[in-house]
Structure 1
């Protein structure tokens, strides 16, 4: 399988919406808001969105941001989202996206990669652990009014 990894382009947005909604089950990414959201992220050099392509169709995506924090000397890379189309999972696409993120973090002198993953996504937990990630904490969220 000849998968190409590259930064997202505006021609990828409709594929991204389908991928995010169908395979990550996250209906907050819609055709109506994806362009504005992605363009806003791309306007900040700390954010990167990278896609995996097979036959010029988006089959995977990773969204990440460089973050500075007191507890890390050089900062870290936060993976905000990683999704691979279900019918090509376990074929190396997620590994290529994680490797790309790790290369990016290394080239930018970042100390760690961090991500959050829902409790229900047990297969994803196994994948992340197989890539060297450790379970260290819970993620707490609160809506702001």
Structure 2
């Protein structure tokens, strides 16, 4: 397995992963051709410094992904934070250490980019994901809130 920054050619597989779970099925649109919104968003991510999609690839197939964004801030003496979101592993590859490898790669990248912490948000319904994040050392230290626009 290889972990690398996503390429445009990976986009269809990434969207498939995002759509293939109980919450993503109602949030995403995996269809051919892909909706232009995904292509535009991927282009924006590629063009923004400190923002990337990481993919886990095995036998030339994308089997996992996450988005990693470095967020500079003023709080905590100007600390830069790493934000992880959009974490998915193909159902048939789960429990093989792929998610952990993606996270280790993202955490190492955050350290290399002088981030002071790594943060993520996770839907309250994702109990298995919560256990996974806690096993990796993440602590549920804050209550998050969102405003849909």
User: Under a length normalisation based on structure 1, what TM-score does the superposition of the two structures give?
Assistant: 0.91
In the alignment, which of 89, 113, 127 is matched to residue 132 of structure 2? 127
Q: Which residue of 2 aligns with 1:104?
A: 109
Q: Does 1:50 align with 2:48?
A: no
Matched residues, number: 142
User: Residue by residue, what CA displacement relative to the aligned partner does 1:83-123 show, whole Å, maximum 9, x if unpaired?
Assistant: 11111111110011000111110001100000000111000
CA-CA distance at 1:82 after TM superposition? 0.9
Q: Say if 1:35 and 1:66 are closer, same or farther in 2 by CA, change over 3 A.
A: same
The Cα RMSD (Å) is: 1.4
Q: Which of 81, 86, 89 is residue 86 of structure 2 equivalent to?
A: 81
CA distance, structure 2, for counterparts of residue 82 and residue 71 of structure 1: 26
Post-superposition shift, 1:80?
Answer: 2.1
- Is the helix fraction higher in 1 or 2? 2
3-state SS of the aligned residue for 2:45?
helix
> Is 1:9–2:13 an aligned residue pair?
no
Question: 1:3-24, CA deviations, whole angstroms, 9 ceiling, x for partnerless residues?
Answer: 1101101111111111110136
Determine if contact 1:65/1:78 at 8 Å carries over to the other structure: yes
Match of 1:62 in 2: 66
Deviation, structure 1 residue 58:
0.7
What is the TM-score with the length of structure 2 in the denominator? Answer: 0.89
Unaligned runs of 5+ in 1: none
2: CA distance between counterparts of 1:29 and 1:37?
14
